Amino acid sequence: MATAGAPRRFCRCACFCSENLYVARYGIHLRFRGEQQLRRDYGPILRSRGCVSPKDFQQLLGELEQEVERRRRLGQESAARKALISSSYHPARPDVYNTLQDEALAPEFLAAAEYSTSPGADLEGLLQRLETVSGEKRIYRLPVFTVPFCQALLEELEHFEQSDMPKGRPNTMNNYGVLLHELGLDEPLVTPLRERFLQPLMALLYPDCGGGWLDSHRAFVVKYAPDQDRELGCHYDNAELTLNVALGKAFTGGALYFGGLFQAPSALARPLEVQHVVGQGILHRGGQLHGARPLDTGERWNLVVWLRASAVRNRLCPMCCRKPDLVDDEGFGDGFTREEPSTVDVCALT
């Protein structure tokens, strides 16, 4: 498993500024290198989805150019927001910034994590301690946080949302939510959650996906509401593995749906629907195609943690499916490093 050591510099792949640009109104992810490439590679499918007139195309072109520029500035602007929030924001619930305690975690989650670190622990024994949503798709569920902790975290997130602090988009598809590293919750909450609890679980559930070598993450909260984001198009995550925890509130609709792995033919044939349960987390592979059905009523807030293993992604970027072209970045970047973790047996991951 990954072990703690001297801090390493994390990177992103240069493809971040050209691959997987999402256009919501046409429901499509695009590669963008310029106008001629866009016309050549996507002209027919764009026309079939409503991008018909020259005005439509020029509007799309402008939006893509703006998105590329936004991505180029993302790391620097995020670091500036984090610094301002750290110096000027006054939390409503300072207690959620304390180092993660066992009391915040569901007994079932603690028991599964404790079992995973015990001598002789194996997959069969772990599966008795959580719910298998789909053995074929390797999707699992178990309670993660207590209801009081979910309520406290939500109270803090809503307070931040209503403040005048600058806010970054959670990701390139969601418009409403919070980046936890900007709010200062990475170090006290997400890092111990990954290192102490998730890594032992993931090492047994997904040894072939780097589950035992998780050395970084990207964590954010997404919000769905009738007058904001209501649904999420089909996509796969920039992660080896993903945890998705429903924090609240009261809502109807908004189920997750899962297809196959993104590389597979007919990956969205017969999708599997999974309902959210407050406090419970869904575990799945990052490459599993998934999305969210439209929300009917209420508000839904979810904590999403993209779990990354540099030992896996250093060899192949999951977004462009090529050897990563590394660019230095802020914080955990996109989980790539310029060197292999010294404790990793790369052959064991092949």
Residue 189, domain CATH: 2.60.120.620
Domain residues for 267? 92-335
Domain contains 342: no
191 plus 269 within the same structural domain:
yes
Whether omega before 167 lies within 30 degrees of 0, making that bond cis, reads no
Rounded CA gap, 66 and 63, in Å?
A: 5
Domain contains 256: yes
288 plus 145 within the same structural domain:
yes
Q: Per-residue confidence at 350, pLDDT binned at 50, 70, 90?
A: very low
192 plus 318 within the same structural domain:
yes
Rounded CA gap, 111 and 323, in Å?
A: 39
pLDDT digits (tens, 9 = 90+) for 235-254: 899 999 999 999 999 999 99
Instruction: With both helix axes pointing from N to C terminus, report the angle between 35-48 and 54-88 in degrees, rounded to the nearest 10.
Output: 110
* DSSP annotation of 131: E
Nearest-CA neighbor of 216 among 239, 237, 235, 197? 239
Q: Does pLDDT of 1 surpass 70?
A: no
Give the pLDDT confidence score for residue 268 in this predicted structure. Answer: 65
- Looking at the structure of the chain, the number of domains it has is 2
79 plus 172 within the same structural domain:
no
Mean pLDDT of 23-33: 89
Domain contains 108: yes
Q: Is 257 within 8 Å of 293 (Cβ atoms)?
A: yes
Q: Does pLDDT of 55 surpass 70?
A: yes
Q: Does pLDDT of 347 surpass 80?
A: no
Rounded CA gap, 253 and 256, in Å?
A: 9
pTM (two decimals): 0.90
- Which amino acid, one-letter code, is at 79? A
